[in-house]
Structure 1
């Protein structure tokens, strides 16, 4: 029973982590001129969009997340690998969270004079990624020792 639960949690964690890369990690709403409507600036694991324009040089946050998710999947067989994958996923998620927190704090502090009404916040992708970390460590806890 523990093995089945561990496998389910590891697969869910890897799937959630990979899926999180397609969701917004951060969202900023900014007006480029007084009286103009705000435009969304959205960053995912693979792209950055400003309104309808996609930045051709994406952030590629998704690469280390997918690699860590793959390690989590390999952990289905070995508990130590599951732990290493969960730790890698936690490290990537933590670094991304701190980076986004700094970016959001910078913008919320009024450092962009263009739009004093700028709104900056986390997207749902970061929360799904953190949930994947919790699932991965839960799987490590119930993983049977081989």
Structure 2
């Protein structure tokens, strides 16, 4: 029974982590000129969009997340690999969280004089990644020993 629960949790964690890379990790609403509507600047694991324009040089935050998710899937067989995948996912998520926190704090402190009503915050993707980390470590705990 523990093995089945561990496999399900690892699968859910891997799917959540990979899926989170397509969700917004951070969102910024900025007005480029007085009287203009705010434009969304959205970063995902694979792209950055400003309004309807997509940056051709995406951030590629998704690559290490997908690699950690693949390690989680390989961990369905070996507990040590599952632990390595969970640790890798936690490391990538933590580093991404701190990076985005710094970027969001920079914008919220009024460092951009264009729009005093600027809004910056985390997107749903970062919270899904945090949830995937919790699922991954839960899977490691219930994973039967080798």
Q: Same fold judged by TM-score > 0.5?
A: yes
Deviations 1:82-121 (A, max 9, x none): 0000000000000000000000000000000000000000
TM-score, length-scaled by structure 1: 1.00
In structure 1, distance between residues paired with 2:72 and 2:118: 38
In structure 2, distance between residues paired with 1:40 and 1:18: 23
Structure 2 match to 1:97: 97
Give the alignment of 1:16-95 within 5 angstroms.
16-95=16-95
By how many angstroms is 1:64 displaced?
A: 0.4
RMSD between aligned alpha carbons?
0.3
**Equivalent pairs, count:** 146
Gaps of 5+ in 1: none
By how many angstroms is 1:76 displaced?
A: 0.2
In structure 1, distance between residues paired with 2:57 and 2:9: 34
By how many angstroms is 1:61 displaced?
A: 0.2
Deviations 1:17-65 (A, max 9, x none): 0000000000000000111110000000000000000000000000000
Structure 1 match to 2:118: 118
Q: Which runs of 4+ in 1 moved over 2 A?
A: none
Q: What secondary structure is seen at the aligned counterpart in 2 of 1:23?
A: coil
Q: What secondary structure is seen at the aligned counterpart in 1 of 2:113?
A: coil
Q: What secondary structure is seen at the aligned counterpart in 2 of 1:141?
A: helix
